[in-house]
């Protein structure tokens, strides 16, 4: 262990935390905008810092400032210790689960193998289940310590729901462990880079569709999101387990929900959608053919950037006199910026064909490309969470239990047997 090792560990941890925390505002924005578009509305679009509106992202800053400066009320009858502990458990659990997710392939720097996950342990999946099952404590403690009816009901519902959905969730991944013979997540992701029948990426969603479905459904239930948000159930239970919370203690629950959305998406992507793998581009391919791949992606990025530039310009022309202040120039400014960016990319492209790449660049490029692929996949999966939330109504409590115990559990068991039989016959 020298300084470099410590630095690497530190950098990975920081990356994961920063990634999770920056995803929170982005997801809130995604949720609000997604909900608005699905419901034929526009969503937040007016808050601004100077000319910056960023399509409503600034609204999230305003919300954050508001929630920080709200009065923090602690009702007199609560059990103080547990009342304060609950939001911290929520935040801690959702942040620490991300530790085992690999976000890029192992990197070789100067003969040293660097694992691109914070915790490179063999029991990756087991760690996930161990930590995630702690999250029920936050809900139960919050519900009980609030000393009030609605939070208590919310807490009871949530504990029953989370415990019953953890079982099919755990069973659904057993099929995967049978295929790979290990719960180590990076191994699984590496194996998903192969091809199935020569044309399909060998993602687990194609090998284990039933398991994928069960896991995704259970992930919704674990994160307490619609259609499984019985813990909150604002139409029946006021606010559910966080009724008595205010200010940033409530904010912590709120953030934890979004972080656990990111984490669940991360796990779904890692287990079933190829993790950091870019379809058809393995690590060797990316490293060996770094130059042409960089060139192609530069061309694509430049084209996309140019498209955005022209679109923003037409937007600016249509909405010239909308606000009558500096916000009117936002479209113009960003159109200029994207236009310049696309030109710079073209210049870099031309320059690149004259020089040879330095040797350190291909591995770094591979790393960045894989991280980008992972982030994009996680983002799309988060979008699925949002999309489902604004489509489906909430389950009734008995329906929820029926689905969990009478449908998902037998299905998960059946999946294990079928997988076992197939493995046995195919060798």
Partner 1 sequence: MIKVSRDVSELKEDIYIIEIMKGLGVTIGHMFKNMFDLSKLPVIDYPNQEKGIPEGYRGKHRLTQRENGDPKCVACMMCATACPADCIHIEAAETSNNAIEKYPNRFDIDLLECVFCGMCVEACPVDAIRMDSGIYSMVDFNRRDFVVTKNELLAIKPQLESTKALDIRHPMQKYK
Cα separations (Å) of 131 from 13, 95, 181, 397? 17, 10, 22, 25
| Pair 361, 293: CB distance under 8 Å | no
The residue range among 22-30, 105-113, 246-254, 390-398 that interacts with partner 1, by the rule CB under 8 A, is: 390-398
Q: Using the rule CB under 8 A, is 414 a contact of partner 1?
A: no
How far apart, in whole angstroms, are the C-alpha atoms of residue 13 and residue 119?
Answer: 9
Q: Binding string to partner 1 for residues 21 to 50, with x set by CB under 8 A, is what?
A: -------------x--xxxxxx--------
Residue 322 interacts with partner 1 (CB under 8 A): yes or no: yes
User: To the nearest whole angstrom, how small is the minimum distance from the Cβ of residue 15 to partner 1?
Assistant: 31
Least Å from the CB of residue 194 to partner 1: 29
Rounded Cα–Cα distance for residues 344 and 348 (Å): 6
Residue 267 Cα distances to 185, 274, 297, 318, angstroms: 9, 10, 27, 43
Return the residue matching tokens 């969470």.
Answer: 385
Closest distance between partner 1 and the C-beta of residue 322, in Å? 6
Q: Which stretch binds partner 1 (CB under 8 A): 10-18, 143-151, 186-194, 383-391?
A: 383-391
Q: Is 304 a residue that touches partner 1 (CB under 8 A)?
A: no
Among 206, 390, 397, 405, indicate the residue that binds partner 1 (CB under 8 A).
Answer: 390
Region 50-79 residues binding partner 1, contact defined as CB under 8 A: none
Site mask, partner 1, residues 191-230, x = CB under 8 A?
----------------------x-----------------
Residue 347 is a binding residue for partner 1 (CB under 8 A):
no
Q: Output the CA torsion 140→142→144→147 (10° steps).
A: -160
Q: Which residue has the tokens 């037998």?
A: 410
**Cβ proximity of 188 and 271 under 8 Å:** yes
DSSP code per residue over 157-214 = HHHHHHHHHHHHHHHHTHHHHHHHSS--HHHHHHHTTSEETTTEE--HHHH-HHHHHH
Three-state secondary-structure class, residue 331? helix
Q: Which of 114, 139, 403, 409 binds partner 1 (CB under 8 A)?
A: 403
Q: What is the rounded distance in angstroms from the CA atom of residue 409 to the CA atom of residue 165?
A: 9
Report which DSSP code applies to 329: G
Q: How far is the CB of 401 from partner 1 (least distance, A)?
A: 15
Give the binding range for partner 1 (CB under 8 A) out of 126-134, 279-287, 366-374, 386-394.
386-394
- Among 107, 388, 401, 416, which residue interacts with partner 1 (rule: CB under 8 A)? 388
Q: Using CB under 8 A as the criterion, which residues of the chain lie in contact with partner 1 when the complex forms?
A: 34, 37-42, 213, 322-323, 387-388, 390-392, 403
């Amino acid at each position: 262990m020298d300084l470099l090792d410590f630095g690497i560990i530190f950098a990975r941890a920081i990356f994961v935390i920063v990634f999770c925390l920056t995803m929170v505002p982005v997801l809130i924005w995604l949720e609000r905008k997604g909900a608005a578009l699905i419901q034929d509305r526009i969503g937040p679009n007016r808050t601004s810092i100077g000319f910056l509106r960023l399509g409503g992202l600034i609204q999230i800053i305003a919300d954050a400032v508001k929630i920080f400066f709200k009065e923090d009320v602690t009702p007199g009858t609560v059990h103080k210790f547990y009342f304060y502990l609950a939001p911290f458990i929520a935040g801690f659990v959702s942040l620490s689960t991300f530790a085992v997710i690999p976000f890029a392939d192992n990197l070789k720097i100067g003969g040293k193998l660097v694992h691109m996950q914070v915790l490179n342990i063999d029991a990756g999946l087991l760690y996930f289940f161990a930590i995630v099952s702690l999250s029920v404590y936050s809900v139960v403690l919050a519900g009980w310590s609030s000393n009030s009816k609605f939070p208590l009901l919310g807490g009871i519902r949530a504990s029953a729901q989370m415990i019953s959905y953890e079982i099919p969730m755990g069973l659904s991944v057993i099929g995967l462990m049978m295929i790979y013979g290990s719960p180590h997540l990076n191994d699984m992701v590496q194996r998903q880079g192969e091809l199935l029948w020569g044309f399909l990426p060998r993602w687990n969603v194609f090998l284990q569709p039933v398991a994928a479905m069960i896991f995704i459904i259970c992930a919704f239930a674990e994160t307490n999101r619609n259609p499984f948000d019985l813990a909150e159930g604002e139409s029946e239970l006021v606010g559910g387990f966080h009724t008595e919370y205010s200010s940033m203690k409530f904010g912590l629950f709120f953030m934890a929900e979004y972080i656990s959305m990111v984490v669940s998406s991360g796990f779904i992507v890692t287990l079933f959608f190829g993790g950091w793998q870019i379809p058809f581009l393995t690590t060797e391919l990316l490293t060996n053919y770094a130059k042409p791949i960089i060139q192609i992606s530069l061309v694509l990025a430049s084209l996309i950037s140019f498209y955005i530039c022209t679109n923003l310009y037409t937007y600016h022309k249509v909405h010239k006199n909308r606000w009558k202040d500096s916000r009117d120039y936002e479209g113009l400014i960003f159109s200029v910026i994207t236009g310049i960016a696309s030109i710079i990319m073209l210049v870099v492209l031309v320059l690149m064909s004259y020089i040879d790449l330095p040797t350190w660049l291909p591995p770094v490029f591979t790393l960045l490309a894989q991280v980008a692929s992972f982030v994009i996949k996680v983002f799309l999966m988060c979008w699925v969470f949002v999309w489902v939330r604004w489509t489906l109504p909430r389950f009734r409590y008995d329906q929820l239990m029926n689905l969990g115990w009478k449908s998902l559990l037998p299905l998960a068991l059946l999946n294990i047997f079928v997988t076992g039989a197939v493995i046995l016959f195919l060798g």
